[in-house]
Structure 1
Amino acid sequence: MADSVGDVDPAFEGAGQKAGIEIWRIEKFCPVLVPKSSHGRFYTGDSYIILKTTALKSGALRQDIHFWLGKDTSQDEAGAAAVKTVELDAALSGSAVQYREVQGYESEKFLSYFKPCIIPQEGGVSTGFKHAEAEKHKTRLYVCKGKRIVQVKEVPFALSSLSEDDIFILDTESKIFQFNGANSSIQERGKSLEVVQYIKDTYHDGKCDIATIEGGESADAESGEFWDFFGGFAPLPEKTSTDDNSSNDVFPTKLYSVEKGQSQPVEVDSLSKELLDTNGCFLLDCGIEFFVWMGKNTSIAERKSASGAAEELIRGLNRPKSQTIRVMEGSETVMFKSKFDSWPQSAETDEDEDDE
């Protein structure tokens, strides 16, 4: 394998040596370490690399790498994050699993690192926007989904965004409202209350009122203030619109080889491990899940090329919100192996693996 120290960004020197989280933001196409005091604060105009190091029962360390792309980040910054993630993996001996995370469509694995949630702020290092702390407070509406891990997503500030199926948080300058849809669960309400407290502490310095509004009821004096923000009370629909993510069943699983930075379809009747060549890189399109497999005998340059080919293919297929997972030969996840009709059993065990 033609790797060298010069192939790895010096910003990653010493990374992943102990359990915890390390974060870098892409600034002028280079990774810059984010101080721990700013962990969990992401900006919509930026791209980040997040390294999660876990101590296993055996005493060994396992690393998972995520690169997070804000909705307003440039294509060049997103590409830099993808490339630098490959370099970080090389600095960690190539055994980390790498995940592509898109704002609003993050994996539960990624969201679990930041309790109780992440709420990206407008702006970014290369944009003309000022960071949110310096701006006048803007009223925002969020929807909260999930009983175990909460995903908080900003939605249009309009009555049409509300429904009885979910929890909504209305963040105003002087008060935060939690709207509990009639069909939401007790667990969801409890988790969303943690989000409300997080917003109060983080964006209001702990100085604002909190109110809970119950759905399925007509407006009363106590909830009137909430409904006034939407032009008055109105009955809400029982069902929300369909999810942005399509079912994996819509897309047939397809394998591609990467040749000189270009993806080429591999025409086969069934998938087996033998199709994967240790001297090459392959892409596996499973719909919402998109895998990049990198052979042990490939160079860092070849892995970067494969990652670029994956980004190009995702754009060409018009599936920008697909979750990309990159795995190295010998460190494949259970999820990846399950996509193959034939994968020989190994004597090794996937110790402490927690695939979603």
Structure 2
Amino acid sequence: MKKEENIIVGISVGDLNGIGPEIIIKAYEDNRSLELNTPVIFASGKTMQFFKNHFNSKINFFNIDSPEKIVHGKVNVVNVWKEPVKIEFGKPNKKIGEYAIKSLEAATNALKNNFIDVLVTAPINKHNIQSDTFNFPGHTDYLAKALNGKSLMFMVSNELRVGLLTDHVPLKEASNTITEDLITEKISTVIKSLKQDFGIRKPKVAVLAINPHAGDNGVIGDEDDKVLKPTLEKIKSKGDLVFGPYSADSFFGSNTYKNFDAIIASYHDQGLIPFKTIAFGQGVNYTAGLEKVRTSPDHGTAYEIAGKGIADENSMKQAIDTAIQIFRNRNDYNFYSKNPLKKASR
């Protein structure tokens, strides 16, 4: 029987030639973790047994053929495939990419059908997952379509949260992608997430400029003056605490980020380089804007160390813990939004 607090954590296995299976195993090596959450790995019993043997793990897997048969107190493995898989650590492989997608699709379906409470995704190789039927640049875009939401890549840690206006788009296209509608949508998503997912009643959000020095009054580009600044003024006029645009070059080094509940970067590396510098190994990639909760570690497949048994599982553990906490926060938010008198009486 499921304990009230025992969250069911679905896990897509990621690239089998990378470090995903290793950090999943390490995250659940200690049986005490099963007291607060029930893991469900979408792969195959044979494949996970290979990794158990390779890493000399003491973990015990419980094989099931359907997420409907989950058993609490066990490390469940849903058999998404049954054939043996050839593992070649550190090697990109198109066939391995196909297994990563099979795992992701099965886990996403289980999430949609409420067999699992949250989804944690192990790292994939964005190149070898591409096919005629799967042509998304990564997890975030796929989940936005599969779960009918407007997703936002939200990198979070204990001391820093960074959202992105544009994520996996070429840098040369980023400024043209940033429109008033996009800015408004992304900021709205961040503010809603801070309230319902992180329990912050009146969040303060900083926005980083598109151009160096916020364009220097048009000397280094006019996108900040023509698009970003007027849009932020409109948003502020409605009562949201949104500030900027800030010049990105000194924003993190001066510790200005500590004055805000979240920072929104204009493009991928503008936000992720400082985030990973400050919080690498402790950070989590959270997909905000969806009705379901999905997190992942803040790193990639790490082919260079795959199979060596030295991968650090801390970010995977943080991804699991963060997913569980967001799930609980969101349930509380939804409950007290419908029952405001009970919140007032706490």
**TM-score per shorter chain, which class?**
under 0.3
More strand by share: 1
More helix by share: 2
Q: Relative contact order (alpha carbons < 8 A, sep ≥ 6): 1 or 2 greater?
A: 2
Q: TM-score, normalised to structure 1's length?
A: 0.23
